[in-house]
Amino acid sequence: MLKPRWSDLDAYNHVNNVTWLEYLQEARVDMLFVHAPTRGAEGLASGVLVVRAEIDYRRTMHFRQEPYPIEMWVSKIGGASFTISYEIADDDADGTRRVYGQASTVLAPVDPVSGRPRRLNAIERAVLSRFVD
Amino acid sequence: MLKPRWSDLDAYNHVNNVTWLEYLQEARVDMLFVHAPTRGAEGLASGVLVVRAEIDYRRTMHFRQEPYPIEMWVSKIGGASFTISYEIADDDADGTRRVYGQASTVLAPVDPVSGRPRRLNAIERAVLSRFVD
Amino acid sequence: MLKPRWSDLDAYNHVNNVTWLEYLQEARVDMLFVHAPTRGAEGLASGVLVVRAEIDYRRTMHFRQEPYPIEMWVSKIGGASFTISYEIADDDADGTRRVYGQASTVLAPVDPVSGRPRRLNAIERAVLSRFVD
Amino acid sequence: MLKPRWSDLDAYNHVNNVTWLEYLQEARVDMLFVHAPTRGAEGLASGVLVVRAEIDYRRTMHFRQEPYPIEMWVSKIGGASFTISYEIADDDADGTRRVYGQASTVLAPVDPVSGRPRRLNAIERAVLSRFVD
């Protein structure tokens, strides 16, 4: 759920395509920093690099009062990276689903001191697996 | 060529992953709004939607005085869309190339009044083909 | 009420001083675009320029889940401009008030077509006077 | 000198009023981090809080290729704070000066570890005094 800011609009009066990536980041931070149990998985909050991002834009988003719902799930857990997938969509009152876009980001944990990539540990894998679909 | 701003940094002291997409946008705007001959191709400046973006992040970018060089070329011209590819990289004095990342964005021209997708016209295709590497 | 985004943080891990002005803008947009009765006062939403801003920063704001409360009132109504004042503050459970900062912005209505300054009309003055504290 | 980005534009197609404060920040960072002699004055780069900002907006700024010139000088040196003043203006070919706005920011050095305000030391005062106009 992310409420657009007026400042997210560009000169075309749309939520700018760049800002979409910010929305995904906010949703992910919320999941990794707040809702993921922190015991043993603090590293997911303190040191994760984005190594790949892809977004398919389907409809333009506008400034509005209702937050845009963002669904998010872990779609892949590798040895030293994991993938989060996202869908931004409204469920209209009549049951139709209005998809604004889909996206995914590949994330790699890094050692917070050296900045070097590292493998996911067992606790992190367990935490992430709870977010698989 | 894009000079980082201090405000591009996030709490990790890196150019934030979201801002990379802003860098691509600025490079593209420069090409489509300024350097593309405008005669007959004004539509590329006034009405183009991003329909897909993908970025591979290789190295972190930092705040520095020298602009980051961004190479950019048209990698595909379709009937109603075209793709711009990007590489952000330094060429070091000793001849090694330091790649920060690669990206591409699929862009679709739209009618500026209706906002509806439309086909590329002949002049636009000619203009774009000059940027095919 | 404004929920900070992780992307509002700067390299010092604070909500950046620039972003404060964005928070004021969002609060103001909310008042002028949404909560002000629109009948006859649409001009306050569609064409208002900021002509002066001042902010006193008292405490740093951080990334947190609870939105920061922003109080806002019309502190002056002139012939061709009006002033909105703001206070960002928490009321702690023990009754103490924790003030993050105070600010004001002078706003001038402009003709949306010509962009020229114009006088406030009677309806706009009536709408604004309801926000005088 | 600050080159506008297309992303600095808001839905009115102006450089947004919030972004002006970002321009001042970039100009200041350039002075304090880069051009100020660092010997003994490193604290001006690593730990300075903005305690007050004020901006007078005179003309709207737009997206353009030429950077906007920003003049900047130290207008006050206090015991535990200093003030930087700014003017954003073009000097037109015919000699007329086109002022976009004026601003000032009061800055306070803080201890980088404790975050507490501290007094300016003698070297910092000497460095700042060279920027007094």
Residues 59-98 of D with CB under 8 A from C: 60
Q: In chain D, what residues touch C60 (CB-CB under 8 Å)?
A: 49, 115
pLDDT confidence tier of residue D37, bands split at 50, 70 and 90 = low
Does A25 lie at the interface with B, CB-CB under 8 angstroms?
A: yes
Res. D112: pLDDT tops 90? no
Nearest-Cα distance to chain D for A54, in Å, is 20
Q: Which of C6, C26, C65 is nearest residue A5 as measured by Cβ atoms?
A: C26
Alpha-carbon Rg for chain C, nearest whole angstrom, is: 16
| Residues of chain C predicted below pLDDT 70 | 35-40, 46
Chains that touch B (3 or more CB pairs under 8 A): A, C, D
Q: Could you tell me which chain D residue has the CA closest to the CA of C52? A: D56
Phi then psi dihedrals of residue A99, to 5 deg: -90, 125
Does D10 lie at the interface with A, CB-CB under 8 angstroms?
A: yes
Q: In chain A, what residues touch C35 (CB-CB under 8 Å)?
A: none
Between CA A88 and CA A101 the distance in angstroms is: 5
The CATH class that applies to domain D6-129 reads alpha beta
Asked if A13 lies within 8 A of D9 by C-beta distance, the reply is: no
The tens-digit pLDDT sequence of chain A (133 residues) is: 899 999 999 999 999 999 999 999 999 998 887 766 556 677 787 689 999 999 999 999 999 999 999 999 999 999 999 999 999 999 988 989 999 999 999 999 998 788 889 999 998 999 899 899 7
Alpha helices in A30-121 (DSSP H): 43-46
Q: In chain D, what residues touch A10 (CB-CB under 8 Å)?
A: 6-7, 9-11
pLDDT at B36 (0 to 100): 65
Asked if B50 lies within 8 A of A17 by C-beta distance, the reply is: yes
Q: In chain C, what residues touch B63 (CB-CB under 8 Å)?
A: 11
pLDDT confidence tier of residue B89, bands split at 50, 70 and 90 = very high
How many helices and strands, by DSSP H and E, does chain D display?
3, 4
Between CA B23 and CA B53 the distance in angstroms is: 13
Q: In chain B, what residues touch A22 (CB-CB under 8 Å)?
A: 18
pLDDT at B45 (0 to 100): 72
Instruction: Pick the residue of B6, B8, B10, B18 with the most C CBs within 10 A to test the interface with C by mutation.
Output: B10
Between CA C103 and CA C72 the distance in angstroms is: 9
Proportion of chain A in helix, strand, coil states, percent, rounded to 5: 25, 35, 40
Q: In chain D, what residues touch A6 (CB-CB under 8 Å)?
A: 10-11
Which residue ranges make up each domain of chain D?
6-129
Q: Which of C6, C22, C29 is nearest residue A26 as measured by Cβ atoms?
A: C6
pLDDT confidence tier of residue D31, bands split at 50, 70 and 90 = confident
Least confident interval from A5-14, B38-47, B98-107, C65-74? B38-47
